[in-house]
Amino acid sequence: MPKEKPNVIVIGAGIAGLASALRLKKQGFEVDIYEQNNYTGGKIHVYSKNNYRFDLGPSLLTLPHLITDLFKLYNKNPEDYFTYNKRDESCRYFWEDGSHFIAPAQPAEFIDKAADFFKEDAKKISRYLENTQEKYRLTADLFLHSSLHQPKNFINKKALKAVRNISKLDLSKTLHQHNQSAFQNPKLIQFFDRYATYNGSSPYKTPGIMSMIPYLEMYKGTYLPDKGMHDISQSLTRLAQEVGIKIHLKQSVEEIVFEDEIAKGIEVNSELKLADVVISNMDVYTAYQSILKKAKKPKLSFKQQSSSSALIFYWGINKEFKDLNLHNILFSDNYKEEFNSIFNENTFHKDPTVYINITSKAISSDAPPGCENWFVMINAPTNDGQDWSAEIKEIRQKIISKINRILKVDLEQYIKLEHYLTPADIEKETSSHKGSLYGMASHGKFSSFLRHANFSSQIKNLYFCGGSVHPGGGIPLCLLSAKIVSDLIEEKHGLAFKN
């Protein structure tokens, strides 16, 4: 008799869990996903009320081919499931002195406009962007596309080239120091410092290699799904269901079961579900505290500082603001103190940087006519027992006061709907440790190596994907973690399971 297909259990239907399931199904595995919530997508979720629609989680899409590649795996036309458009403007930036800068999406145009606005030498800005490209080319294959925790991945031409050019990676400088050495204008320094927040870190602690982050935005482009960010997870969910992946919602996994250091399956509803391979898409710290209690904790990884969290207000605004677009940043006047407050004092800064995302600027159905859906976020400390009710009341007024000062408006009168998420809410709804958005912060030059691997070194047949493990947080990196996991499983188990 032919051997039954090997099976995989994926814990968590976040973006990485869905992508891992799709890749493993294509490899010939039977796949079941167990998700504790009654919806798929993890942080990529939605809130709708009174004809306002809000994406609850990530608001920026880069490298959309990592999504469409999953449809192509099954010879599907991605446009039958998921469509998106490229933006010609990346973000609008505002400062307290009344100045504002609209950042074009095209590098050449950005250089010209930034040189004029910030009064910096265009050649310096061009060299900086070329440097972001070089860093990405030198490190992407090693740091983003393969397991960083396998010695063999360092023995190839590309890895050796990266090692030979290590001085160009600015590992010994912080991102702020790197930017400070590149530019004179404090606003332009702050502009490039902000990219540290893309992985929940402080520009005063994360290494200069993180200056490669703007490369994705400026050279690869920024995008918006035609139906909003939520459509990313939902389109992949539809594909998963079509190809026979079983998604079990409202099923909280109680334990990953292993014997003799080999994963055997999971326990859910006090019932054992056997599996040849187990993949956890749960926050890795939370996993070891809950469903891997019997496993040895990776102490070195867990000693690292958690990334920042977020406080997000979702406001239904009954007015249109012509000065704002899809992405908008209202900068703090004291950036260094803002990050000191978040990471060292575990509190909000008195003058937080405010990010406003308004998808109704591009998707008219996201708000009633003449209105806008505001996603208003500030970087936040992680949940550590704060009184969030008191925090919200105080910080809400500071956010509104800042918006009023910069936009010359009395905002309160236009807020007709309000919903919010605190770090405690994020922790509860997504199982993220302390509400951290990206697992551990990328602080220190060895932070990438200290992030948890995509496989267990002590339990065979157990793998990890998602934003809390290598290569990091954010939609592109979560999707890459799924690719790394599927490659590892194919390499280590494919032949054995097929024979």
- Give this prediction's pTM: 0.94
Query: What number of other Cβ atoms are within 10 A of residue 245's Cβ?
Result: 22
Q: Give first-to-last CA distance, the chain, whole Å.
A: 13
* pLDDT of res. 238: 98
Please name the amino acid found at residue 290. S
| Residue 423: closest CA among 447, 459, 391, 457 | 391
* pLDDT of res. 163: 61
* pLDDT of res. 1: 35
The architecture CATH gives domain 7-45+63-83+227-304+440-498: 3-Layer(bba) Sandwich (3.50)
- Token pair, residue 284, equals 């890795």
- CB-based contact 259:265 (threshold 8 Å): no
Calculated CA dihedral for residues 436, 439, 443, 446, nearest 10 degrees: 170
Residues of the chain with pLDDT under 70: 1-3, 142, 145-167, 448-449, 494-499
* pLDDT of res. 165: 66
Query: What number of other Cβ atoms are within 10 A of residue 218's Cβ?
Result: 20
Query: What is the residue extent of each domain of the chain?
Result: 7-45+63-83+227-304+440-498, 108-220, 305-430
What is 254-313 written as a DSSP string?
Answer: EEEEEETTEEEEEEETTEEEE-SEEEE-S-HHHHHHHTTTTSPP-HHHHTSPBPPEEEEE
Q: Are strands 30-34 and 246-248 parallel, antiparallel or unpaired?
A: parallel
Q: Which residues of 48-67 are buried (b: 16+ CB within 10 A; e: fewer)?
A: eeeebbbbbbbbbbbbbebb
d(CA 9, CA 277): 6
Query: What number of other Cβ atoms are within 10 A of residue 493's Cβ?
Result: 18
* pLDDT of res. 2: 42
d(CA 203, CA 192): 9
* pLDDT of res. 60: 96
- Token pair, residue 41, equals 């997508």
* pLDDT of res. 499: 45
Q: Are strands 262-268 and 253-259 parallel, antiparallel or unpaired?
A: antiparallel
d(CA 466, CA 15): 8
Angle between helices 186-193 and 107-118 (to 10 degrees): 140
- CB-based contact 482:13 (threshold 8 Å): no
